[in-house]
Amino acid sequence: MVGVDSSSPREPTALAWSTFLLPTKAKVISPQDQATTPVDPRVLDAMLPYLTDQYGNPHSRTHAYGWEAESAVEDARKHVADLIGADPKDIVFTSGATETNNMAIKGIARFHKEKKRHIITTQTEHKCVLDSCRKLSEEGFDITYLPVQQNGVVSLNVLENAIRPDTSLVSIMTVNNETGVIQPMKEIGEMLRKYRGIYLHTDAAQAVGKISLDVNEMNIDLMSISGHKLYGPKGIGAAYVRRRPRVRLEPILSGGGQERGLRSGTLPTALVVGLGEAARIAKQEMKRDHARITELSDHLIQSINAQVEHVVRNGDVNGYPGCVNLSFSYVEGESLLMALKDIALSSGSACTSASLEPSYVLRALGAAEDMAHSSLRFGIGRFTTKAEVDFVVSHIIRTVNRLRDMRCVLYHQPSRSSSESVPSPLWEMVQEGIDINSIDWSQSQH
C-alpha cells in the first residue's frame, strides 16, 4: 500500500487526496489536509529565531533568555486563546490533540470517579477518543457510544436520553476528520447547561482555525487543538481548560507543575510560537480561506457529479467544505485506490493502514460496506489550487469510468480466491436496471 505519513499519530481513516500532488520524479507521499497540513512559511519564519539564537527556557525566571522565551510563549498563548474566544490563562500547551483528548477524557473521568462513572461519546469520534474511552471502560467506567444520524450529526434527543445522574463527561468532536460533518456544539452546550456537573469536551482539531468557534458561546469546558491541522508544526497542540467555573481533572504527567500543573514538562518554545503564529494567521485569514475552500469544494463536487454517475456524498452537505467524502458505487475500493495512487492518495480505508476494513465512521453513518470501501476523502486547504482540483477530478473520472467498464470482480465472500473465479459484470447489470442489492449472491457462489 502507499505509505501513510507515519509522523501523524492522528492519521485519519479514510482515503485522502493531497493538497500537494506527487512530484513527477520522486515518489513522495505528501500530506493531506485532514491528515496534516503543510507548515505555513510565515509560521516557520516566526519559529526560526527560537530554534537558533533565542534558545532560552521559558520557565527560567532569572535571566533575559528565559524572559524572552516566556514572553514569546505568552504571546502565543494569547493568539490561541483569541482564536477560540478564550482567556489566555485557560490555554494549556500539549504535544497535540491526541494528548489533549487523552488528558481531557481520562483526566475528568478519573478525577470524578468516586461519584461519577459514566461517559458519553459518539461512534464517529477519532480513534484517540474511542481508545481513551476503551481504556476507561477497562478501569470500570461505563461508556455510551452514541449513534449518529444518516448525515453524521448526533441527535440532541438521543444525547439527552443517554444522560445519567452519574455522567461526568460528554465528548463530541466539532468537525469530523473523515466526513467534515459539523456537530451542533452550541445546541449541545446549551442543552447540557441544564445538567449540573457534566463537563463538555470537544475534539476541535479539525475545526480550530477553519470555522469560527467561541468556547463561551458554545458552553464548552474543554477543547482539543492541534498545531499541524492549522498550518502549524507537528508535535504541538493545546487544551482549553475552563477556569471559571473551574474544570478539575487529574493530570496524566507528574513533574515540575508547568502549565497550571496540568501538563508538566518544559515547553518547546519554538513549537509553541509556531502554534501561536498559526493561530494568529488562521484568525486573520479565516474569511478568505473559507471562501476559497468553499469555491474549490463546490467546483470539485460539481465537476465530478457532472461527469460520473452514482456518486454518493457521505455526511452532512452543510459540513466543513474543506473535507469532501465521496463514495463511488460499483467500483471496487482497492482497485480505485491502486489506480489513483499516483495522485498521492493515502492508503487504506482505516487508521491502521494495513487493514482493509471499511471506515468505521462511514459505517456509523449507515453506509453499506461496498460504499464505505470505495470512498475517497478530498482534503482542500489553504494551499490547494484550482489546477490541482482539476487535475484530480480528471484523473478520478478517467479511473472510475475505466474501472466500471472493466468486468468487476465481486468480493462477496471474505476469501478472495473463491470469489475471483466468479467475475460479475456489475456495471452492465446496473445499466440494464437490475438492482444489485436485490440479488442473492450467495446462490451463485461456490
41 binds another protein (CB under 8 A): yes
Placement of cell 489550487 in the chain:
385
Q: Which is nearer to another protein, 23 or 257 (CB)?
A: 23
Site for another protein contains 147 (CB under 8 A): no
3-state secondary structure of 238: strand
Q: Which residues of 163-199 are buried (b: 16+ CB within 10 A; e: fewer)?
A: beeebbbbbbbbbbbbbbbbbbbeebbebbeeeeebb
Out of 74, 87, 295, 390, the only residue in the binding site for another protein (CB under 8 A) is 390
Mapped onto helix, strand or coil, the DSSP state of residue 291 is helix
Residue among 243 and 288 whose Cβ is closer to another protein: 288
User: In angstroms, what is the minimal distance from the CB of 271 to another protein?
Assistant: 17
> Closer to another protein at the Cβ: 26 or 306?
26
Interatomic CA distance for residues 72 and 76, integer angstroms: 6
Q: Could you say which of 1, 45, 260, 405 contacts another protein (CB under 8 A)?
A: 45
Q: Does 51 bind another protein (CB under 8 A)?
A: no
Considering beta carbons, is residue 125 or 388 the nearer one to another protein? 388
Cell numbers standing for residue 224? 482539543
Annotated catalytic residue 128: no
How far apart are alpha carbons 33 and 242 in whole angstroms? 29
Rule CB under 8 A: say whether 3 interacts with another protein: no
Give the span between the Cα atoms of 126 and 101, in whole angstroms: 10
Whether the CA torsion 195, 188, 104, 315 is positive or negative: it is positive
- The verdict on 13 binding another protein (CB under 8 A) reads no
Min CB(76)–another protein separation in Å: 16
Q: Which is nearer to another protein, 45 or 187 (CB)?
A: 45
Instruction: For residue 232, state whether it binds another protein (rule: CB under 8 A).
Output: no
| 52 is a site residue for another protein (CB under 8 A) | no
CB 375 within 8 A of CB 327: yes
DSSP readout, 189-234?
Answer: HHHHTTSTT-EEEEE-TTTBTTB---TTTTT-SEEEEEGGGTTS-T
Cell of 281: 494567521
Would you count residue 24 as binding another protein (CB under 8 A)?
Answer: yes
Residue 384 Cβ vs another protein, minimum distance, rounded to whole Å: 7
Please name the residue that has the C-alpha cell 501523524.
8
- The residues that bridge with 142 in the sheet, in sequence order, are 118
- 7 binds another protein, rule: CB under 8 A: no
| Interface map 326-355 toward another protein (x if CB under 8 A) | ----------------xx------------
Q: Minimum Å distance from CB 394 to another protein?
A: 9
Quick one: which H or E segment has residue 48?
Answer: helix 41-51
Residue 14 in contact with residue 349, Cβ under 8 Å?
yes
Sheet (strand 91-94) strand order: 91-94, 237-241, 222-226, 199-203, 167-171, 118-122, 142-146
CB 434 within 8 A of CB 382: no
Rounded to 5°, the CA angle 430-323-145 comes to 85
In whole angstroms, what separates CA 6 from the centre of its chain?
A: 15
Q: Does 423 bind another protein (CB under 8 A)?
A: no
Residue 44 within binding range of another protein, rule CB under 8 A: yes
Q: Does 379 bind another protein (CB under 8 A)?
A: no
Closer residue to another protein, CB minimum distance, 33 or 178 = 33
Q: By CB under 8 A, what part of segment 279-298 binds another protein?
A: 288
Number of residues that bind another protein (CB under 8 A): 27
Binding residue for another protein, selected from 13, 17, 38, 121, defined by CB under 8 A: 38
Residue closer to another protein, measured from CB, 397 or 409:
397
Q: Which three cell numbers stand for residue 243?
A: 477556569
- 25 is a site residue for another protein (CB under 8 A): yes
Residue among 60 and 294 whose Cβ is closer to another protein: 294
The distance of closest approach from Cβ of residue 26 to another protein in the complex, given in angstroms and rounded to an integer, is: 5
Of 4, 15, 21, 408, which one interacts with another protein (CB under 8 A)?
21
Q: Which of 1, 3, 7, 23 binds another protein (CB under 8 A)?
A: 23
Give the active site residue among 133, 323, 351, 408. Answer: 351
Q: Which residues bind another protein (CB under 8 A)?
A: 19-26, 28, 38, 41-42, 44-45, 48, 288, 342-343, 382-388, 390-391
Active site amino acids: 351
